[in-house]
């Protein structure tokens, strides 16, 4: 089996990939993640998932490299990681009673022949109507300042939602495992065998 490399420093993606039980290592991707002018969410995550994988390919000559990128959108406007309390309040206030759509770009790059599979998986989070007290309480308890959309669905953030809609809940964490499993099977790797 070829080496499997996760082009990410995210502990969430690493933990997610461990669910497949396949041996892998991680490497830090190097690429400019600045969105291009008028770049839609789907275009951005597709471009960055590929760039992340490509950025480490020169170090891994016969490997399958996983690149992934994710953004969240409210009414087609990209929202990023809040990085601070005030921005998190703004994001959760804007999400209250609305649907936040997550776009996750996933790339499986074969460094041997430079071929790749590249797709986007979406996942919708429908928020309950939230009071300022609930938003403040949540942020005080979980402090999700480095998470797109200002919440952690795998933690207390689940209490913010009315429902989740999508084919793979791992997409919300940033690594759609159903899609990744399909891509790996296309390369002859089946986690079940």
Q: What is the pLDDT of residues 95-108, one digit of tens each?
A: 999 999 999 999 99
Structure tokens that stand for 29 in this block: 């991707």
Determine the pLDDT at residue 148.
85
Q: Among 69, 86, 124, 168, which one carries the catalytic annotation?
A: 69
Range of the domain at 58: 3-186
pLDDT in tens, 121-134: 999 999 999 999 99
Confirm whether 136 is domain-assigned. yes
Determine the pLDDT at residue 94.
96
Confirm whether 193 is domain-assigned. no
pLDDT in tens, 46-90: 999 999 999 999 999 999 999 999 999 999 899 988 999 999 999
Determine the pLDDT at residue 39.
93
Confirm whether 36 is domain-assigned. yes
Determine the pLDDT at residue 160.
97
Whether 124 is catalytic is no
Confirm whether 70 is domain-assigned. yes
Which one, of 114, 20, 14, lies nearest residue 58 by Cα? 114
Asked if the model's pLDDT at residue 18 lies above 90, the reply is yes
Confirm whether 81 is domain-assigned. yes
Determine the pLDDT at residue 1.
80
Determine the pLDDT at residue 80.
85
Determine the pLDDT at residue 21.
97
Confirm whether 149 is domain-assigned. yes
- Extract the runs of DSSP E, i.e. beta strands, from the chain: 3-7, 25-27, 63-74, 77-79, 99-110, 115-127, 161-165
Confirm whether 8 is domain-assigned. yes
pLDDT in tens, 23-36: 999 999 999 998 89
pLDDT band at 190; cut points 50, 70, 90: very high
Mean local confidence (pLDDT), 156-177: 95
- Please check whether residue 32 is in contact with residue 91, taking contact to mean a CB–CB distance below 8 angstroms: no
Give percent of the chain with pLDDT exceeding 90.
Answer: 89
Which one, of 174, 95, 105, 175, lies nearest residue 138 by Cα? 95
Confirm whether 191 is domain-assigned. no
Give the chain's domain count. 1
Query: Rounded mean pLDDT of the chain?
Result: 95
Q: Which residue has the higher pLDDT, 154 or 70?
A: 70
Length of the chain as a residue count: 193
Determine the pLDDT at residue 41.
95
Determine the pLDDT at residue 154.
83
Q: What is the CATH number of the domain that holds 168?
A: 3.90.950.10
């Amino acid at each position: 089996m070829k080496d499997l490399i996760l082009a990410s420093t995210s502990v969430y993606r690493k933990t997610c990939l461990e669910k497949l039980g396949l041996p892998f290592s991680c490497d830090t991707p190097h690429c400019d993640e600045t969105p291009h002018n008028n770049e839609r969410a789907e275009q951005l995550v597709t471009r960055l998932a590929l760039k992340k994988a490509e950025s480490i390919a020169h170090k891994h000559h016969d490997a399958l490299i996983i690149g992934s990128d994710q953004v969240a959108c409210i009414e087609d406007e990209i929202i990023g990681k809040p990085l601070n309390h005030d921005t998190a309040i703004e994001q959760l206030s804007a999400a209250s009673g609305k649907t936040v759509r997550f776009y996750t770009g996933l790339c499986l790059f074969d460094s041997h022949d430079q071929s790749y599979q590249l797709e986007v998986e979406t996942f919708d989070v429908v928020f309950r109507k939230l009071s300022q007290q609930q938003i403040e309480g949540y942020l005080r308890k979980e402090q999700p300042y480095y998470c797109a959309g200002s919440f952690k669905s795998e933690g207390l953030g689940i209490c913010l939602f009315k429902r989740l809609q999508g084919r793979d809940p791992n997409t919300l964490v940033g690594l759609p495992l159903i899609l990744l499993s399909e891509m790996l099977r296309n390369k002859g790797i089946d986690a079940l065998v």
